[in-house]
Structure 1
Amino acid sequence: MGKDLTQVTTTFYICDGGSCRKAGSDPVMRATRAYLRNQGLWNTTHTIKTRCIGRCEDAPAAIVHPGDYWYKNLNGQNVITVMQRHLEEGKPVEELLVFKEGSTVINSDKERPKKVPKPFSLVEDEDLGVIYSTRGFSTDQYTYPLFLYLAETKSPATLTFPHGQTHSFQNIQALEYGKYQLIMTFKEADLTSILAFTLAGIPKTEPMALQRSRVLVTEFFYEAFNPEKRGIRLKDKMGRLLAIIWLDSTDEKVWNYCLNVQLSMSEVVIQS
């Protein structure tokens, strides 16, 4: 039977993302649940194992509600202190906090600078000629939204593969993100095509062919002598071309999306 959530007064969200697992989130979760069980607090306190919460540098990390308290550098011992303080006194453990509601600064001695794509630079590309190019992010937190945006807006952009096969996003019928791969269905005339791109991180236990198929390079570019000819080039880990998304020269909305959302630029920035 599920927990009666009407009785829950406090919730601990313990990160189980990759960095937190490596840093020891499993002992933190085990200690938390064992303490709650043995102290008779199981029914009034809920624990949730989450995916990455975005504070990898402070791993193992957790969030406590109510109050929006973000904790850092947890282990099987100090997490007990955190629980005791919250559940018995309703107060946080200040020295372990990285953030709390109302804070204007992040309290971390490992703070990492925000990663942003580099400016566009002029390159003479073997396949595309003279272009301005920059790399975007290739995690599925960026690549999946990119494909989703093109599909939902029915963009006139085209998806072109190395062997010459081309599909327009105006003809996309379905888009589904499975365990590792994005499956797209295109219907053009009487022909239905089903295509797959590997976007998610692949465990080393999976077949090597699947690991190598992941999109790991996402390049945004435009031609130096024809700036309206723009696209997004996708490559695998070995630098092999997977596909090029050619953007329609008249569709400024999609290009602005690429700049603003994918590259965190308000306009094209060129490396000086």
Structure 2
Amino acid sequence: MKVIQNPTQYFFEQSNNPSDQYLDKINVFIGKLINQKQCLLCKQDYNIKDRLPRILIHCGHTICTQCLSNFYRNRRVRCPLCLKLVKHLDSIERLPINHTIFTKMAEEINKKSRSHGGTDVIDPQQYLFTQFQQSAVQAQKIRQQQQNQYPQVDPDSGLEFCEFHNDRVKHFFCMKHKVTCCRVCSEMIHQKKDCIVVDLYEIEDVPAFLNEAYKLNQENNCQNQNIEFLPDDDNNFNDDDLEGEFAQDESLKSL
């Protein structure tokens, strides 16, 4: 049995001098990546229209545009293979195209065109540059639309996005200040000892909870000012009520 005296030095030497078996595995893996023609998720062939091969920048997985569009929500997309999250994404088209797969795909299209007596159909470099320009223009339009339509509402929870942190939902409620806020705002502003912060994601009926919280705040304000808080049913006055008030006051009869 071989005893390794210095494991760190041993693994360092192994990484600098990989074995032939390890190199063979690396070559097979790289070959699969280069020759990848289908999306790992839907198993459909990549194309130059709606199934461009795009790279998720946090994990490196390549998935077609059509599949990624199904996972795109609120300027975010989560990798369906490893669940890593990409934030602050204006659109799916902002994700980089896998140049290796796209160039190989373009070469096959041009080769097929030349075999039928035609010319090259796609210039890979020009096509990628045009795609980058179009995605930048589209992202700018999306930002302008978001600014005009602000505040946005999260379709899943029905809560608004934070006006200071556009990618975060205001799903926290401060019982002291009676305001909703995102996680960053709650940690920066509502971390005092007398602040009680509630996570609205844990509340089953959020509108009912907020109504009760605002109503309780109104009652407390009236009590602090020595004002009697009247229920909604007693706030409906009419002319008969006013006449009764005048009739009870003797000093007002002579007026």
Instruction: Name the TM-score, length of structure 1 as normaliser.
Output: 0.25
Indicate the structure (1 or 2) with the bigger Cα radius of gyration. Answer: 2
The structure where helix makes up a greater share of residues is: 2
Tell me which of the two structures has the higher relative contact order, counting C-alpha pairs closer than 8 angstroms and 6 or more residues apart.
Answer: 1
The structure where strand makes up a greater share of residues is: 1
